[in-house]
């Protein structure tokens, strides 16, 4: 399977614990995105990487959240001191894009992984 | 920032009938509009997309139309089948952006039920 993969698929943790999720994008994709989805809502953007550079962060990404993509391949999302409000599906997506200042081809087609469902008790 | 509204929130149709889902967006700079299908326990699956330089795009039983002036776009599914039952999301973004903002802004979703 050459799609986006995420691990673990499910995580149950106690409030106050730290958790880390991993995303492996489609191999040739240079852009990687993290989104959060709560029940009955559409995904909400958290952050975006182009290669190893984190280029954009949403205000939803509090200082308890940190994301990395150290070698421009897989990415990790860590949540420190989890709260019950962090319970959600965390989705990763990847896309293929051009460089700065030019038109990207194809236009921002983002392919999502299966998600990691986090439950904070 | 961008705001995307999606209607209806739920839609039930008889097998074989057509289904239409509508979205509006607020940022006139948005120029890329994908549609995703999400089944229970799975991530969103890209099913069709349209760019702002095109008014309509078709792929077998699904089609998307875009009205840039009115800032709305729609998904049309013809000859619906039970396997079309899922939650559908529209989204908007900047496909080409020197500032590097490629985030997708999603609607809240439409739960489509196709009754056999």
| Average pLDDT over chain A, rounded to an integer | 90
Q: Does residue A78 contact residue A19 with C-beta atoms inside 8 Å?
A: yes
Least CB–CB distance from A113: residue in B6, B43, B96? B43
Q: Could B103 and A100 be called an inter-chain contact, meaning their C-beta atoms sit closer than 8 Å?
A: no
Partners of B58 in the beta sheet?
A: B63
Q: Could B108 and A115 be called an inter-chain contact, meaning their C-beta atoms sit closer than 8 Å?
A: no
The distance between the two most distant Cα atoms of chain B, rounded to a whole number of Å, is: 48
Beta strands B62-67; B56-59: pairing state: antiparallel
Q: Could A111 and B109 be called an inter-chain contact, meaning their C-beta atoms sit closer than 8 Å?
A: no
Q: Does A97 touch chain B (CB under 8 A)?
A: yes
DSSP 8-state assignment for residue B41: T
Instruction: Please compute Rg for chain A using Cα positions.
Output: 14
DSSP string of A60-114, one letter each residue: TS-TTEEEE-TTSS-EEEEESS--GGG-EEEEEEEE----TTS--SS----EE--
Cα separation, B22 vs A117, whole angstroms: 29
For the stretch B17-74, pLDDT in tens is 999 999 999 999 898 999 999 999 899 999 999 988 889 999 999 999 999 999 999 9
Q: Which of A94, A107, A93 is nearest to B51 (CA)?
A: A107
For the stretch A32-67, pLDDT in tens is 999 999 999 999 999 999 899 998 899 888 999 999
DSSP string of B48-90, one letter each residue: EEEETT-SEEEETTEEEEEETTTTEEEEEE-S--GGG-EEEEE
3-class secondary structure, B21: strand
For the stretch B83-99, pLDDT in tens is 999 999 999 998 765 55
Q: Does A41 touch chain B (CB under 8 A)?
A: yes
Q: Does B107 touch chain A (CB under 8 A)?
A: yes
Size of interface A-B (CB pairs under 8 A): 79
Of all residues in chain B, the percent with pLDDT exceeding 70 is: 95
Over 80: is that where the pLDDT of A84 sits?
yes
Say what the pLDDT of residue A100 is.
42
Q: Does B30 touch chain A (CB under 8 A)?
A: no
Least CB–CB distance from A91: residue in B43, B96, B105? B43
| Closest CA of chain A from B97, distance in Å | 7
pLDDT band at A97 (very low <50, low <70, confident <90, very high): confident
């Amino acid at each position: 399977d050459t799609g986006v993969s995420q691990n673990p698929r499910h995580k149950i943790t106690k409030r106050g614990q730290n958790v880390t999720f991993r995303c492996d994008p489609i191999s040739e994709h240079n852009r990687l995105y993290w989104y959060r989805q709560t029940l009955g809502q559409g995904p909400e953007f958290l952050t975006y990487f182009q290669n190893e550079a984190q280029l954009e962060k949403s205000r939803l990404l509090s200082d308890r959240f940190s994301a990395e993509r150290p070698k421009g391949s897989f990415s990790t999302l860590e949540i420190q001191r989890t709260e019950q409000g962090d319970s959600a599906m965390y989705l990763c997506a990847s896309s293929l894009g051009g460089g700065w200042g030019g038109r990207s081809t194809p236009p921002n087609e983002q392919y999502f992984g299966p998600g990691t469902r986090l439950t904070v008790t | 920032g961008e705001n995307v509204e999606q209607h209806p929130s739920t839609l039930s149709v008889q097998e074989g009938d057509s289904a239409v889902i509508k979205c509006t967006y607020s940022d006139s700079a948005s120029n890329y509009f994908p549609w995703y299908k999400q089944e229970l326990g799975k991530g969103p699956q890209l099913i069709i997309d349209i760019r702002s330089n095109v008014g309509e795009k078709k792929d077998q039983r699904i089609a998307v139309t875009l009205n840039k002036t009115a800032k709305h776009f729609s998904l049309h599914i013809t000859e619906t089948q039970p396997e079309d039952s899922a939650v559908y999301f529209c989204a908007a973004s900047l496909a080409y952006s020197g500032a590097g903002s490629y985030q997708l802004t999603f609607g809240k979703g439409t739960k489509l039920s196709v009754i056999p």
